[in-house]
Structure 1
Amino acid sequence: MEEFSSDELNPPSWMNDQFFKEVLRKCERTDKISIENIEISPATAKGDHFASIMFRAVVIFNSIQSKTQSKSMIIKIMPQEEGCKQDFLKESFAFETEIGMYSKTIPKLEEELRKVGDNTVLAAKALYWSLEPQKILILEDICLKGYKVLKDRMATMEESKIAFLKLAKWHAVSYKLSYEGDKNVTSYSENIFSKKDADTTPFMLTGIEYLREKLETIDEFKKFIPDLKNVQKDNLKKSIASAKSYRNESPKGIFVLNHGDFHVKNIMTKRNENGELEDVMLLDFQMSSYAPAILDFMYGIYMLCNPSICINNFDEVMYFYCSNFIDTLKQLKFEGEIPKISDFYIELYRHRHFALFLISSFMPLWYSILEKHVENMDVLLASDEERKKMYGNSNYLRDLKPILQSMFYRGYLE
């Protein structure tokens, strides 16, 4: 498999000296910028992200305030080549959402934490953003601070807990702000189902069907087949309803600003020279939306954590997340009624359809990506035959069995 995505090998022509002068004028807060050299390369390896195109630019420049210096930055732009990535982003407000998150909302969440002495950093710093004439978001390059993406694996328990700790704090602050009437956190509505034909898109629609067809050929899974047949018809519809439930006339539940795409490729970890974990940074907020808090938790437990955690430590991680959510609200001196851990379990059952959607649609794709079986995402998403192959992955089926068994016992398949 190629090391980099083909659409990230050649930066667009407008990414030139004049463009970087404009960027640096904003970053350095001076008009006196002269460029000496620019080196542009792909920001990540193939398979490390999906929708946007990402470049790393190292710019050598001079300014009136200082002598020659270097600045490394990560540049996210719209896909230039036609295909599923470009189609998805054209139809969505993903860039508008992420720019709003980085420029206004995340700084506000961190500001609220600072007021009570919590110095948690939730995300990298945004350096520059624009929607016209190009949709662009430029971030600091946190690789220079020692952060790395996880390569070909899911997160360990230690990594998962730091990620869920930050998520719990994020959720708690947004819960407080929405209670106080802050429209900044409740205005986000973009989510993974925002594509106008999400309810008929084959990748979204056929997950349970293709999973059931595969499981019908394996004796040890056959007891799940009747229930899967029963939920197959309406599961996607109910998952979409969960994601959009705040827009209902009388929404019920624990609503927060969701990360919205809380999987293992959207975190980076930092370790010290002894290999000890120091931090986990959250990335990519194009799907952030105001929705039930439990959706983010479910996304993370199935798509970020090592499968053994989901299988053996589900309740432990659930307690860890919930207790930190509650503790953060207390730290923030929240004046409303604080949810109980039992309330989160009620939410878990209320939105159980989303969990089934994740394990039947996203999880098999994730195994294929991590095991480098996906050469071309456009081909995979467009081909029924290629998608069906994902459900025969032996590692996916091995991990799916105890997860599906647990869902069966909990009544998720009813």
Structure 2
Amino acid sequence: MCDKQAEKAVNGRQAENTVNGRQAEEAVDVKQVKEVTEAPQKTYRNLITESHVKQALKAQQGSSAQLLSWTVTDFTNKGDNYACVVTSVDVCYHKEGNDRKTSFVVKCNPCRALSIFNEFSTAVFQKEAGYYLELLPLFNAQLSRGGCEPIRAPHCYFAHLTEQEEVIFLGDLRPEGFKMFDRMKGMDKAHAVLVLKELGKLHAASILCQKETSVVLEEKYTYIKKDFQSIIGDVDFKKMLTSEVENSAEIAERIGGYKKVVDWLKDFAPSSSDVFLEQIKKSPPFDVLCHGDCWNNNILFKYDETGVPVDVRLLDFQISRKASPATDLNYFMYTSFNGPERKDNLETFLNVYYESLREVLEAGGTKAEKTSQELREEYHKKNLFGLIMGMMVVPIVVTQAGEVMDLDDITDGDYETLVKEHRERMLKQLDSNPLLRPRLLSIFDEMLEYGVIS
């Protein structure tokens, strides 16, 4: 097919270049022929194939559904996703004598030139596909036996995990009214309660599943053990965290009045990666399979006619890990809230989470091994993890879509430039973005109050 297209292009070009009745063969546009015959550049869009669509459609609608046509339709904004590209596929199909329509949300490898992101993308796709296709069914079967509702997450219909070609087809929740909460606003109590109940259920289900088998979950499902450090390497991981902490120190210094915070962060930066790894170590009996990335962009809500959130879906299990549930709680609290909403409602939030955890455990025939007070103590033991994640994520959360750094054209030789530009963007936001300063300062104030920064 490609050869015939090339021949057609040549012939067309020859016909257009007749001079004095003679065909000017020397005028054939070699570049045009080359463009026709060369394979297209790999992009996230051409990772999606008709075979993938057919398999997802069969999983969703049954083997009698016949694919008629499909179209890739982008719908997310720059800044909504980082480790992957999220798009959608609109499908027309025939079933039981009728032509019908459906759609899928599709997560794709972003096909970036920077090798560190390619390695990260491959690992997180393995983790997420495993979570959707193996762990969630395992957890939901356990919940069903206890008479509990399944975990609220989209259904996964198909995953293709060939390295650097990864795609995952998920159910499209938009027609049901689910949408992302505006990350710029900071989450409120009504939204948080829905999330925390679901986190409690998720964590409890993992505890119940682990109790029913002598096989350690992360040994059977080895992708659970992959984390930032193992994915991107010790050296790059240390550089990344050190840079993020130094950025926050410079911001605090620019703001003024936070000398104690500045000095502490500068001292802390070189050891931040070691502390991070210590914070996410398993700490029995507070061991659960965490979501790992529970923040505003990875949660969808459904609303009633008055705008009150009534339902929730958890998304993006790309960096799930076995760790203390307090890491999920701290991650959520210090990435998705303005300071007053987090601090004023903390007791309520922890109570909601604990009661959900306890109820599911008891429905499964197991008592919670720790009290609500011990959970509070564990939460504060992991505040340092919340501080680290807050410093990393908050500047991204409050960045407007038009100001988000474009990672698509950055190569390995540009990595140091990437780090420098990220710092410059953060510092620039101090003056141009009214959301960054109060969000970060509220975190610093709490860490001073809790004695984390001392």
- In the superposition, the TM-score normalised over structure 2's length comes to 0.79
**Structure (1/2) with the larger helix percentage:** 2
The more displaced of 112-121 and 290-299 is 112-121
The alignment partner of 2:328 has SS state of: helix
Seq. identity, %? 20
Aligned equivalents of 1:15, 1:359: Cα separation in 2: 34
Aligned equivalents of 1:319, 1:388: Cα separation in 2: 40
Q: Which residue of 1 aligns with 2:48?
A: 15
Question: What amino acid is aligned across from residue 441 of structure 2 in structure 1?
Answer: K
Gaps of at least 5 residues in structure 1 are 1-6
Q: Sort the Cα spacing of 1:182 and 1:290 in 2 relative to 1 into closer, same or farther, 3 A.
A: farther
Q: Deviations over 1:55-99 (max 9, x none)?
A: 211111124x45222121112221234237842435x52112111
The more displaced of 158-167 and 39-48 is 39-48
Q: Which residue of 2 aligns with 1:397?
A: 437
Check the 8 A contact 1:105/1:184 in 2, yes or no. Answer: no
Q: Offset at 1:18?
A: 4.1
Q: Offset at 1:212?
A: 1.7
The more displaced of 108-117 and 181-190 is 181-190
Residues 367-382 of structure 1 correspond to what in structure 2 (within 5 A)?
A: 367-368=398-399, 370=400, 372-377=402-407, 382=418
Gaps of at least 5 residues in structure 2 are 1-40
Q: Which residue of 2 aligns with 1:279?
A: 311
Q: Which residue of 1 aligns with 2:259?
A: 222
Residues 50-89 of structure 1 correspond to what in structure 2 (within 5 A)?
A: 50-63=82-95, 65-83=96-114, 86-89=117-120
Question: What amino acid is aligned across from residue 132 of structure 2 in structure 1?
Answer: Y
Q: Which residue of 1 aligns with 2:149?
A: 119
Check the 8 A contact 1:256/1:293 in 2, yes or no. Answer: yes
Aligned equivalents of 1:407, 1:353: Cα separation in 2: 8
Aligned equivalents of 1:225, 1:160: Cα separation in 2: 31
Q: 2:326 aligns with which of 270, 284, 294?
A: 294
Check the 8 A contact 2:112/2:407 in 1, yes or no. Answer: no
Q: Which residue of 2 aligns with 1:28?
A: 61
Question: What amino acid is aligned across from residue 281 of structure 1 in structure 2?
Answer: R
Residues 296-335 of structure 1 correspond to what in structure 2 (within 5 A)?
A: 296-334=328-366
Aligned equivalents of 1:210, 1:349: Cα separation in 2: 24
Aligned equivalents of 1:228, 1:73: Cα separation in 2: 44
Q: Which residue of 2 aligns with 1:3?
A: none
Q: Which residue of 1 aligns with 2:210?
A: 178
2:200 is the counterpart of 1:168: yes
Check the 8 A contact 2:244/2:392 in 1, yes or no. Answer: yes
Check the 8 A contact 1:79/1:85 in 2, yes or no. Answer: no
Aligned equivalents of 2:374, 2:316: Cα separation in 1: 28
Q: Sort the Cα spacing of 1:349 and 1:311 in 2 relative to 1 into closer, same or farther, 3 A.
A: closer
The alignment partner of 1:386 has SS state of: helix
The more displaced of 304-313 and 255-264 is 304-313
The alignment partner of 1:413 has SS state of: coil
Aligned equivalents of 1:208, 1:81: Cα separation in 2: 26
Aligned equivalents of 1:144, 1:277: Cα separation in 2: 16
Check the 8 A contact 1:146/1:270 in 2, yes or no. Answer: yes
Q: Offset at 1:383?
A: 3.2
Q: 2:273 aligns with which of 214, 236, 240?
A: 236
Check the 8 A contact 1:189/1:290 in 2, yes or no. Answer: yes
Question: What amino acid is aligned across from residue 11 of structure 1 in structure 2?
Answer: R
Check the 8 A contact 2:330/2:382 in 1, yes or no. Answer: no
- In the superposition, the TM-score normalised over structure 1's length comes to 0.86
Residues 106-145 of structure 1 correspond to what in structure 2 (within 5 A)?
A: 106-132=136-162, 134-145=165-176
The more displaced of 127-136 and 156-165 is 127-136
Aligned equivalents of 2:254, 2:130: Cα separation in 1: 47
Q: Offset at 1:26?
A: 3.7
Q: Which residue of 2 aligns with 1:156?
A: 188
Aligned equivalents of 1:136, 1:359: Cα separation in 2: 29
Q: Which residue of 1 aligns with 2:35?
A: none
Q: Offset at 1:54?
A: 2.3
The alignment partner of 1:139 has SS state of: strand
Check the 8 A contact 1:110/1:121 in 2, yes or no. Answer: yes
Q: Offset at 1:101?
A: 1.0
Q: Offset at 1:371?
A: 6.5
Aligned equivalents of 2:347, 2:229: Cα separation in 1: 28
Aligned equivalents of 1:367, 1:226: Cα separation in 2: 25
Q: Which residue of 2 aligns with 1:102?
A: 132
Aligned equivalents of 1:131, 1:286: Cα separation in 2: 14
Question: What amino acid is aligned across from residue 150 of structure 1 in structure 2?
Answer: F
Aligned equivalents of 1:166, 1:315: Cα separation in 2: 17
Check the 8 A contact 1:160/1:305 in 2, yes or no. Answer: no
Check the 8 A contact 1:53/1:77 in 2, yes or no. Answer: yes
The more displaced of 204-213 and 253-262 is 204-213
Question: What amino acid is aligned across from residue 293 of structure 1 in structure 2?
Answer: P
Q: Offset at 1:27?
A: 3.4
Q: Sort the Cα spacing of 1:316 and 1:57 in 2 relative to 1 into closer, same or farther, 3 A.
A: same
Bigger CA radius of gyration: 2
Q: Offset at 1:352?
A: 3.3
Aligned equivalents of 1:157, 1:147: Cα separation in 2: 18
How well do the aligned residues superpose, as a CA RMSD in angstroms?
A: 2.8
Aligned equivalents of 1:52, 1:314: Cα separation in 2: 32
Question: What amino acid is aligned across from residue 23 of structure 1 in structure 2?
Answer: A
Aligned equivalents of 2:85, 2:255: Cα separation in 1: 40
2:419 is the counterpart of 1:386: no
